[in-house]
């Protein structure tokens, strides 16, 4: 065989995703593709997105029809680069399906959320270990109203090279709803206690929105643990937050109301489907959920949309910092790059709103990984 064969498989966008529907092949059989091209559109029970080609070549097989639903990891297409015989492609398909079955059986025994007691609070978290257990850990901290599923497109991908942990902040998801003040200082202390209890000695922080402020405080308080800091659309002093979104997210009671609210998060609102809306509404209906979110909102945001907390100067953070922003963010408004230190790298993603880790996940994952490798080389 002088050519190479590459699989196109059903992606796993989050630990709860079990299957996906092929809604539209964007590349025809026999068509040339380049690395990064969008080749197929997939719909999950919560969200729709596209699969990008990981290589250049020719899409020689579309193994599933549009409208078909397949398990995560299933082979749905084949790309070749160079001269490859039909028998070689068929053997590749049979081998892939056998190996994927073994891999799935192994994964089913792991990758489940766990609970941990931190003080008087129970926190829900998901830890995915790399095949090399000595690897460093990436910690994902979601923003206001989110949960660990905010990292559905990132944790699985980055766990191939790093140990990863995502969690539900107190007042969110499957974690305890009880809080004292609900401000970012309290939340950062709770998370630091979690990682001390798990004896994590080296980690890289990735914080989104309000989770960016929490991550910054963690890096400030524990510079010996947290080695890099990636802030995605962060809430920082000097920023202005869309307070109508905050209020709407807490108190929306119907599908129509919630769709209008969460659509503000994305540059392309079509990414949100009905099941996503239903799951979001369901999480608001737990006893104490709205009260917890209201407490966090009131503890961190003024009615003007400005934050009510102070953070240490960015120059006092020892860890290297980078910022990822969506050019079409409707939730957070930066007053300008003057807010940030000149030595902080800023990545602005043009086709993204407030959730670039979902809308532009491939690019975000590459930015995070490259930043960590760069920091390793300078330490």
List the one residue out of 36, 34, 75 whose CA is nearest residue 57: 34
The tens digit of pLDDT for each residue in 275-326 reads 778 778 877 777 788 999 999 999 999 999 999 999 988 888 989 999 999 9
Residue 199: enclosing H or E segment and its boundaries? none
* Res 125: pLDDT: 94
Architecture of domain 114-378: 3-Layer(aba) Sandwich (3.40)
* Res 263: pLDDT: 92
The tens digit of pLDDT for each residue in 23-32 reads 999 999 999 9
Cβ 291 vs Cβ 216: under 8 Å: no
pLDDT averaged over every residue in the chain: 87
* Res 14: pLDDT: 63
* Per-domain residue ranges of the chain: 4-107, 114-378
Give the span between the Cα atoms of 181 and 195, in whole angstroms: 21
- Class of domain 4-107 (CATH, top level): mainly beta
Around 375, how many Cα atoms within 13 Å sit in the side-chain half-sphere? 23
Which stretches of the chain score pLDDT less than 50? 105-106, 109-110
Residue 76: enclosing H or E segment and its boundaries? strand 75-81
What pTM does this model have? 0.77
* Res 185: pLDDT: 96
Cβ 207 vs Cβ 228: under 8 Å: no
CA-CA distances (angstroms) from residue 289 to 160, 214, 251, 378? 34, 20, 10, 43
* Res 48: pLDDT: 78
List the one residue out of 257, 227, 228 whose CA is nearest residue 245: 257
Cβ-based burial of 135 (10 A; exposed 0-12, middle 13-18, buried ≥19): middle
Q: Give 270-282 as a DSSP string.
A: GGB-HHHHHHHHH
């Amino acid at each position: 065989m002088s050519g190479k064969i590459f699989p196109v498989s059903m992606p796993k966008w989050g630990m709860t995703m079990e299957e996906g529907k092929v809604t539209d092949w964007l590349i025809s059989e026999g068509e040339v593709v380049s690395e990064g091209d969008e080749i197929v559109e997939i719909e999950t029970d919560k969200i729709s997105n596209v699969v990008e080609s990981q290589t250049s070549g020719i899409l020689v097989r579309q193994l599933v029809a549009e409208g078909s639903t397949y398990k995560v990891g299933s082979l749905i297409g084949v790309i070749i680069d160079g001269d490859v015989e039909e028998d070689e492609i068929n053997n590749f398909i049979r081998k892939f399906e056998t190996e994927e079955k073994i891999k799935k059986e192994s994964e089913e025994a792991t990758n489940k959320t766990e609970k941990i007691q931190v003080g008087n609070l129970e926190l829900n978290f998901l830890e995915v270990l790399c095949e090399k257990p000595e690897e460093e850990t990436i910690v994902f901290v979601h923003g206001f109203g989110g949960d660990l599923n905010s990292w559905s497109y990132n944790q699985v991908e980055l766990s191939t090279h790093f140990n990863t942990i995502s969690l539900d902040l107190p007042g969110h998801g499957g974690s305890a709803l009880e809080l004292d003040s609900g401000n970012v200082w309290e939340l950062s202390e709770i998370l630091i206690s979690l990682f001390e209890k798990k004896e994590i000695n080296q980690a890289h922080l990735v914080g989104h929105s309000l989770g960016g402020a929490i991550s910054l405080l963690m890096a400030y308080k524990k510079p010996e643990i947290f080695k890099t800091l990636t802030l995605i659309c962060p809430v920082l002093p000097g920023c202005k937050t869309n307070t109508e979104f905050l209020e709407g997210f807490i108190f929306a009671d119907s599908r129509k109301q919630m769709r209008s609210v969460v659509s503000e998060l994305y540059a392309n609102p079509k990414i949100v489907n009905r099941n996503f809306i239903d799951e979001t509404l369901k999480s608001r209906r737990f006893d104490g959920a709205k009260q917890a979110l209201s407490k966090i909102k009131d503890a961190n945001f003024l009615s003007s949309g400005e934050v009510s907390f102070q953070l240490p100067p960015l120059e006092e953070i020892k860890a290297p910092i980078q910022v990822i922003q969506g050019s079409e963010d409707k939730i957070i408004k930066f007053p300008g790059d003057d807010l940030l230190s000149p030595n902080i790298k800023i990545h602005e993603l043009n086709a993204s709103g407030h959730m670039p880790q979902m809308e532009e996940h491939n690019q975000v994952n590459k930015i995070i990984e490259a930043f960590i490798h760069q920091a390793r080389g300078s330490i």
